[in-house]
Amino acid sequence: MRFMILSLMMFCLHTYAAEVNFPHISVTGFGEVTVVPDSAVFSVQVEQSTLNAEQAKESVDTVVRKFSERLQELGAEDEQISSSNLSLAPQYHYPDEGKPELVGYRASRSVTVSVKHLEKLNEFLDVALESGINRIDRITLQVKDHRKYQAQARDKAIQDASMKALSIAKGFKRSLGPVWRVDYHSQQSKPMMMRSVSMNQKESFQDYQDKTIVISDSVDVLYRLN
């Protein structure tokens, strides 16, 4: 078994060496595009505590229904609004002595909203507050035409790799030959995410208009050297 593994490793090393058994240079090109977000996705949550489970459920469902209706009045479509199932948990008081005492129930539901036009974000959040939503879980700023900007970042990465290779070859008084191999793995851009806060801290999200998203890409290229 050890002989087989060693033989396989030697074969792989020999194959790789045979592929690049000539003067060459390997470079990594990087590219970035900075864009202004034009859309968003946000998640909010409503929590209510009451004496019995049915009241807690009804209270939370009423808030979610009112919020969804208000969003639709502002032009949001059904597919832009997604609400979670009800979460219901008993609440207990734990005295110093004796058994825990049931004091009520806490119900909660979350709603995720897709904002197609970023200028609507504040208006949607205001409606959430007016409807009884009491927590913002997450706001993610996005860009709709992501593929276009990803392609731009990739083009910049290719140009960067080419310029690096030319510069290094020139520095060693060699000329750059053709491309021998390209390794490319698509990069995942990181959307701009904002922390969760209670609804009375909503003002902390007002600066989203100053935010930007960086879309990056990279490519590994192996060139022959002449």
CA-to-CA distance for 20 and 17, rounded, in angstroms?
5
Alpha carbons 114 and 117: distance in angstroms, whole number: 9
Would you identify the CATH topology of the domain 40-142?
Alpha-Beta Plaits (3.30.70)
Looking only at Cα atoms, what is the longest distance across the chain?
87
Beta-carbon contacts of 12 under 8 Å, excluding residues fewer than 6 positions away, are none
Q: What is the pTM of this model?
A: 0.72
pLDDT in tens, 111-142: 999 999 999 999 999 999 999 999 999 899 99
Q: What is the band of 7 on the pLDDT scale with cuts at 50, 70, 90?
A: very low
Q: Where are the domains of the chain?
A: 22-38+144-226, 40-142
Please tell me what DSSP assigns to residue 116.
S
Note the pLDDT tens digit of each residue in 170-216. Answer: 999 999 999 999 999 877 666 666 555 555 555 555 556 668 899 99
H or E segment and range at residue 18: helix 2-19
22-38+144-226 belongs to which homologous superfamily? Protein of unknown function (DUF541), domain 1 (3.30.110.170)
